[in-house]
Amino acid sequence: MQPSKVSRDSREKLLGHKGAVVWLTGFSGAGKSTVGFALEQTLMSHGVLAFALDGDNVRHGLCGDLGFSPADRSENIRRVGEVAALLADAGTVVVACFISPYQQDRDRARLAAGDHRFFEVFLDTPMSVCEERDPKGLYVKARAGTVKDFTGVSSPYERPVSPALTLHTDAETVGESVERIVGFLRDRAIISEG
């Protein structure tokens, strides 16, 4: 048995861009999936193989055995971080959309992917705005106590210590947020110009 003979360089040459992880973190309702899916679509339109990961495509499969206790949420983020690293190894630009409230969990995801290709993007939307949007009706349930350990209401959110980018989704459009991330990826030479 021998290790893979396919280098990261040969994947980059085939795809025309590098593999990376764009990790969107923030409150429920901050717009992570909205921005994430729009980013995925924009990158694809530029010929970049992008892939969005969010609760919907991991909670039923890979993490189907996990619940929502603090320990299970941490394990959920650990596995997502490892899968994101594998997808980035395969050459894709992964767009991970998870509340991921703990710095330690996000740092572990960074470690899995490698510091030079993991970018923490903080959706710094005030909780009052997120609660007003309440797209899934979860804040109402959290206030009523029928949803437990809800980030921002009954469970803490640790703000990123030094995010690569900070987005203000209450003050900028989805398109503006996406363009800022795309510009950032160009600056870091993950994707090329044009």
User: Mask: binding to a second copy, 105-134, rule CB under 8 A, as x and -?
Assistant: -------x----------------------
Among 22, 23, 25, 40, binds a second copy (CB under 8 A): 40
**109 within 8 A of 77, measured Cβ to Cβ:** yes
Q: CB of 191: closest distance to a second copy in angstroms?
A: 13
Please state, in angstroms and rounded to a whole number, the distance separating the CA atoms of residues 90 and 191: 15
Which of 100, 154, 162, 177 is catalytic? The answer is 100
**By C-beta, is 135 or 145 nearer to a second copy?**
135
Tokens 């495509």 correspond to what residue? Answer: 57
Question: Which of these segments, 43-51, 121-129, 140-148, 183-191, binds a second copy (CB under 8 A)?
Answer: 43-51
Burial of 45-64, coded b for 16+ CB within 10 Å and e otherwise, reads ebebbbbbbbeeebeeeebe
Among 4, 9, 104, 144, binds a second copy (CB under 8 A): 4
Phi first, then psi: give them for residue 87, nearest 5 degrees: -65, -40
30 makes contact with a second copy (CB under 8 A): no
Closest CA to 16 of 42, 61, 49: 49
Please state, in angstroms and rounded to a whole number, the distance separating the CA atoms of residues 142 and 27: 13
- Applying CB under 8 A, which residues contact a second copy? 1-6, 10-11, 14-15, 33-34, 37-38, 40-41, 44, 47, 49-53, 56-58, 61-62, 65, 75, 79, 82-83, 85-87, 89-92, 112, 135-136
